[in-house]
């Protein structure tokens, strides 16, 4: 998502970020079925029509790639080289997961729910369908849905059609696309995308910690006009309304601060209301821009007390780098 | 566009490539107006509603960025580092340009039509609105339209809403987005995007030649499954239907050939019918895939006799590199 699209509360179709591990699979939604199995009393097989006739929920959710900010780390971990554009807020439409699990009937000892996609490839030398699990209590949250619609339209192929999981607050790897099965487990899932990938590690020997919820982040609409190559921004001296959006998977964003000197000093921005519990909050800051060179930064702090650091916390795979954005601005 | 999307005759929303020189501008289509001026007898000011009530044309057009293939050149020219994904075919809806120019009434001596966008920035040290011109006879072609719709929906912000030019057969820089004015000129337009950028030059001293129509290119849907990091493809030994699409701005594609050995030997693929005059043609090739390592290439030849080379024709800015695609495939 180019950052000027932060103007939109709901990211327009085609601007929401995409991270596709393998290929966008070729799925016929008419013959596609979702299987619900594992440690359940009544395994289910559901068609898209079955899912559409169940209770419907529509909710805006901000989703960010766990690798957002990776290309700003030095040395740069080799994977998708995101700067800061791997985010978006869509209005997802689907049906809650919990009633489906309840209908299937969890057997005693169930502890995890595994979501398996149709997308298949090789990662870390292992051939696999893309799959990730969630702890049972997380999967049973009211706001975890199986989505078949986005921004009022049928889910697009690249966003996981016919069905994907939406787990508000978590980084994007959790929202498994092209879902083909849900499996109830009684032990931790140790597949590649859970036990190897998406762990915050300092080196190859480090067992690491799982990457889960989105750390707080604020981004601003780059002011003025850009230089094509450097992307430095040029602003005419005047009153300039800086605006942006901020989010966190650990609690509501309570404060957004603005720095014009690369993080040496900070002033409070005015924070608005989010369109929904799990969507980004808008913020504004009225800047009397005088001629000179500036490095504009913003940082968010959430209700849990988590905030953004000025420097990048390096890690082996380049996950969850929520260091503050730095926008070089020349006021003329 | 990830290349597996070549499966679609019309590229789904959100998968058509985007090249945005500056920012996606913030345009209110209700107050937006198109001005038609310069060497005309009756300057016009048209609203979106005015344009929508004029005769409507819908046509599929394949569009490719002039920089597609740039990142495969060595040394790599520094600009948007496209591999081969900068292409798409959309169904554009709009109104023909020629009747609008005729209504405005061209003065004697008119030779060029200049299209100016709302998007503004600095390129090559020059502050500018993005603008490009076309020779009068090219602009007066029946199939040049002003488009306000794409794939049956209103034009999306990132594709140029509320209005863009569509010039079938030409590289993407010609299809000016966020159009705000059309100006009739009696001399060559010498703005940055015409006289400096988009010229095929071998070095800084070379005056170069303008980049215009799309050279022929064929791309294939990568077969089998990918390795996440290397993108090498793995195929199970079997009969494998290779498929892809091919296009050229210089004439209909008449032949597509397939190589399994990196371009040493070639066999004809079966070429289907294009959905429209200016849209890509589908092709297929039935491959009896035996275990081994392959480098799969395809090449298109058009009615003008133009074809694709096996090696990349290097140029300073990395334009129109239509060297054949190389897909490494391991059959197991």
| pLDDT in the model for residue B312 | 74
Positive or negative, the Cα torsion across B244, B248, B249, B254? negative
Record the tokens describing residue A67, joined without a space.
């690798």
| pLDDT in the model for residue A238 | 95
| pLDDT in the model for residue A324 | 97
Nearest C-alpha of chain A: how many angstroms from B222?
Answer: 9
Residue written as tokens 């090449």?
Answer: B299
| pLDDT in the model for residue B311 | 84
Record the tokens describing residue A130, joined without a space.
């893309």
ipTM for the assembly: 0.95
Q: How far is Cα B79 from Cα A204, in angstroms, rounded to an integer?
A: 34
Nearest to A22 among B23, B78, B228 (CB): B228
From chain A, the residues in CB contact with B243 under 8 A are none
Domain assignments of chain B as residue spans, ordered by start? 3-210, 217-331
Nearest to B21 among A16, A156, A228 (CB): A228
Q: How far is Cα A302 from Cα B234, in angstroms, rounded to an integer?
A: 45
Burial-class residue A149 by CB neighbours within 10 Å (0-12, 13-18, 19+).
middle
Residue A83 has pLDDT above 80, yes or no: yes
| pLDDT in the model for residue A90 | 98
Cβ-contact B91, B59 below 8 angstroms: yes
Q: How far is Cα A252 from Cα A274, in angstroms, rounded to an integer?
A: 9
- Asked if B225's CB is within 8 angstroms of A23's CB, the reply is yes
Q: How far is Cα A2 from Cα A8, in angstroms, rounded to an integer?
A: 11
The reply to whether B292 touches chain A by the CB within 8 Å rule is no
Residue A172 has pLDDT above 90, yes or no: yes
| pLDDT in the model for residue A148 | 98
| Band of residue A311 on the pLDDT scale cut at 50, 70, 90 | confident
CATH class name, domain B217-331 = mainly beta
Q: Which homologous superfamily is A3-210 in?
A: Oxidoreductase, molybdopterin-binding domain (3.90.420.10)
| Band of residue A267 on the pLDDT scale cut at 50, 70, 90 | very high
From chain B, the residues in CB contact with A6 under 8 A are none
Q: How far is Cα A290 from Cα A283, in angstroms, rounded to an integer?
A: 22
| Band of residue A107 on the pLDDT scale cut at 50, 70, 90 | very high
Average pLDDT on A8-35 reads 97
Reported as half-sphere exposure (CB side, CA atoms, 13 A), residue B156 has a value of 22
Give the rounded distance of the alpha carbon of A313 from its chain centre.
Answer: 19
- Asked if B15's CB is within 8 angstroms of A158's CB, the reply is yes
DSSP alpha helix (H) spans, chain B: 48-52, 98-104, 136-139
From chain B, the residues in CB contact with A122 under 8 A are 225-228, 234
Q: How far is Cα B66 from Cα B200, in angstroms, rounded to an integer?
A: 10
Average pLDDT on A89-116 reads 98
Residue A312 has pLDDT above 80, yes or no: no
Q: How far is Cα A305 from Cα B314, in angstroms, rounded to an integer?
A: 53
Give the dihedral of Cα atoms A245, A246, A249, A252; nearest 10 deg: -110
Cβ-contact A246, A217 below 8 angstroms: yes
Nearest C-alpha of chain A: how many angstroms from B121?
Answer: 5
**Bridge partner residues of A218 (DSSP):** A246
| pLDDT in the model for residue B299 | 97
Which residues in chain B land under pLDDT 70? Answer: none
Number of residues in chain B: 332
Pairing of strands A34-38, A44-46: antiparallel
| pLDDT in the model for residue B224 | 97
| pLDDT in the model for residue A164 | 98
- Asked if A228's CB is within 8 angstroms of B122's CB, the reply is yes
Q: Which of B100, B18, B104 is nearest to B64 (CA)?
A: B18
The reply to whether B123 touches chain A by the CB within 8 Å rule is yes
What backbone phi and psi angles, to 5 degrees, belong to B184?
A: -90, 125
């Amino acid at each position: 998502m180019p950052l000027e699209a932060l103007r939109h509360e709901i990211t327009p179709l085609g601007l929401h970020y995409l991270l596709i591990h393998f290929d966008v699979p070729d799925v016929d939604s008419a013959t596609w079925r979702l299987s619900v199995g594992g440690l359940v009393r009544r395994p289910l097989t559901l068609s898209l029509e079955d899912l559409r006739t169940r209770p419907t929920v529509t909710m805006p959710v901000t989703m960010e790639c766990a690798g957002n900010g990776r290309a700003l780390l030095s040395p740069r971990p080799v994977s998708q080289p995101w700067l800061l554009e791997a985010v978006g807020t869509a209005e997802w439409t689907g049906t809650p997961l919990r009633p489906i699990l309840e209908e299937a009937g969890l057997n005693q000892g169930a502890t995890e729910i595994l979501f398996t996609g149709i997308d298949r490839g090789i990662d870390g030398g292992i051939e696999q369908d893309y799959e990730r699990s969630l702890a049972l209590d997380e999967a049973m949250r009211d706001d975890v849905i199986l989505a078949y619609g986005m921004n009022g339209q049928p889910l697009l192929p690249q966003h996981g059609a016919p069905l994907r999981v939406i787990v508000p607050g978590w980084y994007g790897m959790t929202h498994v696309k092209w879902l083909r099965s849900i499996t109830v487990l009684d032990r931790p899932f140790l597949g590649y995308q859970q036990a190897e990938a998406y762990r915050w590690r300092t080196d190859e020997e480090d067992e690491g910690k799982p990457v889960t919820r989105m750390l707080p982040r604020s981004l601003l609409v780059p002011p003025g006009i850009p230089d094509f190559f450097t992307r430095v921004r040029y602003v005419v001296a005047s009153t300039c309304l800086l605006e942006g959006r901020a989010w966190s998977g650990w609690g509501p964003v309570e404060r957004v601060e603005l720095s014009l000197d690369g993080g040496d000093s900070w002033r409070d921005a005015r924070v608005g209301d989010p369109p929904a519990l799990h969507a980004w909050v808008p913020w504004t800051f009225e800047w009397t821009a005088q001629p000179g060179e500036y490095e504009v930064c913003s940082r968010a702090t959430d209700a849990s007390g988590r905030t953004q650091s000025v420097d990048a916390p390096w890690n082996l795979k380049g996950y969850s780098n929520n260091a503050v954005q730095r926008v070089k601005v020349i006021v003329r």
